[in-house]
Amino acid sequence: MSSEDSIVAGMAGRYAVALFELAEAGGSLEQVESDLSTLVSMIGSSSDLDRFIRSPLFKSDEQLRAMNAVMKRAGLGDLTQNFIGVVIKNRRLFALPSMVKVFGALMARRRGEISADVLSAHPLSDSQVTELKEALKASMGKDVAITTSVDAGLLGGLIVKMGSRMIDASLRTKLNKLKFAMKEAG
């Protein structure tokens, strides 16, 4: 399986490809990308909304009413709203974050970018993200689209994942390596 095929593997990939093709045909790729980014940001900032989309306890009509209200308030476009409606009717709302991630990877590939997931102990500032993009671009020779997330358990440093490559420069990993080295020596 090629790296391009691995992006779209699975159910989330099929939904993301369908949305990508519809948006491309309608000339609204950037709008849909922006809408999805807004939606993911809302989900990430609200633990209630995150639990709601992942919960199998709500009926699809309840999910549709609630998500329609959220999407209208956020000002999302018609294609994005219709797509989310189909996802809800098919009882796949729990997989929406994965669908958005695959859509982002498809957009990055279209722009000739490599996508990288960056996990940090603290939120990165805009200047830190810019520096990281420049460093990764120098290393990879291509533009890099970065998706950041925070895990306080890292204690410090970063974990960068680009495709099958992972760079773990977290303090947690360094301390674990030191602990194992001391056990072997002692």
Instruction: Supply the CATH number for residue 120's domain.
Output: 3.40.30
The count of domains in the chain is 2
Q: 93 and 124 in one domain?
A: no
Q: What is the model's pLDDT at position 7?
A: 61
Q: What is the model's pLDDT at position 185?
A: 77
Domain that holds residue 164: 113-185
Q: What is the model's pLDDT at position 118?
A: 93
Q: 96 and 24 in one domain?
A: yes
User: How many angstroms separate the CA atoms of 60 and 180, rounded?
Assistant: 49
Look up tokens 């900032």; give the residue: 45
Q: Give 116's strand partners.
A: 146
Q: What is the model's pLDDT at position 1?
A: 39
Q: Quick check: 119 and 147 in contact, CB under 8 A?
A: no
- Whether the full predicted model's pTM is greater than 0.75, yes or no, is no
CA distances, 161 to each of 116, 118, 167 (Å): 5, 6, 6
Q: What is the model's pLDDT at position 80?
A: 96
Q: 27 and 9 in one domain?
A: yes
Residues of the chain falling short of pLDDT 70: 1-8, 186
Q: What is the model's pLDDT at position 2?
A: 45
Domain stop point among 60, 92, 108: 108
Among left, alpha and beta (phi > 0; psi -120 to 50; other), residue 157 is: left
Q: 48 and 74 in one domain?
A: yes
Q: 93 and 10 in one domain?
A: yes
Kindly report the CA angle at 155 between 170 and 165, in degrees rounded to 5?
Answer: 25
Q: 73 and 133 in one domain?
A: no
Q: What is the model's pLDDT at position 164?
A: 83
Domain stop point among 108, 143, 174: 108
Q: Quick check: 106 and 17 in contact, CB under 8 A?
A: yes
